[in-house]
Amino acid sequence: MSQHIPLKNVIRKGNDNGDGWVIQLETQTGRTVYGIGVAQASTGRTGPTWSYIFENDGLTIIDLGTPGSFDNFLDGYSQLPLSTKDIKRVIFTHGHSDHDGTAHEFCSFSNAELWAHKNYAPLKKYKIWEIQDRESSVLQKELMRISSILISESDRFSRWNQYSDYYSNKKNTEISRNLSDQESFEDIQIVQTPGHSPDQIVLLLDNFMFTGDHILPEITPHPTSNTIIKKEVSDSLPSFLKNTSPWFGLGTYLNSLSTTMRLGNEYTILPAHRLHNKGEFNWIDQSRGLEIISHHEKRLKRIIQRLNSNSDSLEDLTRGIFEKSKLLGSNIFAAMSEIVAHLEFLEDCKDIQVSNVGKITVLGEGDSYIKELDKIRSV
């Protein structure tokens, strides 16, 4: 629990899951930040996307919402004592559709600029699942092979197909400023925290840390898996993106948690989801990072235990670790890709090896990952 409760005023009450709330927050130095719980166009597990608005050389907005939710954003914004004419820029915490989903509508509505991490612009032309060279990794090949048996292609990619307009519009949006790690702009400081996505950043303003999906209350952000980009795409990318290991994977994500924890414990976290849920606000600080690391540690431990008791394929492991209810329909793809991210981390720690037919075995004691996690935690 954070010491400093930043809520100054409730401008409009919304639903128990956070939809529709409009609030006024105050930093320790007395700076005003507004928050809007922008309801998703279709209901999702994560609740609304929280959009934050404050003055920093003109009005700055952090994140907008899911495709189809622009009216919900404007409706919330209309409650603020601010004019939309004064909006100077929107900064995206990362390029997932629940954050930049209405960028296109926003640009037709306003002349404000769009800013994002430097990895955002070169990747926004692509759907990340299309550019990954899955042939280069046995686990990735297995993930695709098993899901093609269990899930129909239309189900597997239903979310992406549903958002086809979003993807085609995204190609044409213009990013005015590509942000780098440790860059400052007036009173904001940018810290890159890749892992949940390759372009994830957190923003620091006084004692507030806007975390996007890097740190969330109640839920553990989904880590990416190690990603090798197809050569034909990689050739068109800037040099800093050609080597993908600093940007993707569970290890990258956990190291980013370490980065944010090293910033000290005095920040109040303003996440993109679950700021308000079940009728209550969730005020957290970076120590939430330790809980997220423990969650992954437990999962890694269970994977090693199951491997030791003769579960040796990706499908078998996934079915052994997730409850049945989480494996229905296309959910098994998300569950398996989560397990892949963990297996890749164990592979990098030399705790397991994967044969070329996808048989997974433990190497030695299979406990090097514990040392690695202790290193990540020792901040």
By the criterion CB under 5 A, which residues form the site for Zn ion?
Answer: 96, 98, 213
Smallest gap from residue 312 Cβ to Zn ion (A)? 32
Give the residue with the Cβ less far from Zn ion, 213 or 344: 213
- Report the alpha-carbon distance of residue 284 to residue 260 in Å, rounded: 13
Long-range contacts of the stretch 317-325 (C-beta < 8 A, 24+): 317/343, 317/360
Give the residue with the Cβ less far from Zn ion, 40 or 318: 40
- Report the alpha-carbon distance of residue 120 to residue 93 in Å, rounded: 10
Distance set, CA 49 to CA 5, 19, 21, 209 (Å): 21, 8, 11, 16
- Report the alpha-carbon distance of residue 21 to residue 287 in Å, rounded: 26
Smallest gap from residue 219 Cβ to Zn ion (A)? 10
Smallest gap from residue 216 Cβ to Zn ion (A)? 8
Give the residue with the Cβ less far from Zn ion, 52 or 369: 52
Smallest gap from residue 140 Cβ to Zn ion (A)? 20
Smallest gap from residue 24 Cβ to Zn ion (A)? 23
Give the residue with the Cβ less far from Zn ion, 50 or 267: 50
Phi-psi domain of 317 (left: phi exceeds 0; alpha: psi -120 through 50; beta: other): alpha
Tokens for 26, please give them. Answer: 């105050």
Ranges of beta strands (E only) in the chain are 7-12, 22-26, 32-38, 49-55, 59-62, 87-91, 113-117, 177-179, 184-185, 188-192, 201-205, 208-212, 268-271, 276-277, 280-281, 352-354, 360-362
Give the residue with the Cβ less far from Zn ion, 98 or 100: 98
Give the residue with the Cβ less far from Zn ion, 67 or 366: 67
What's the N-to-C CA distance of the chain in angstroms?
19
Smallest gap from residue 202 Cβ to Zn ion (A)? 13
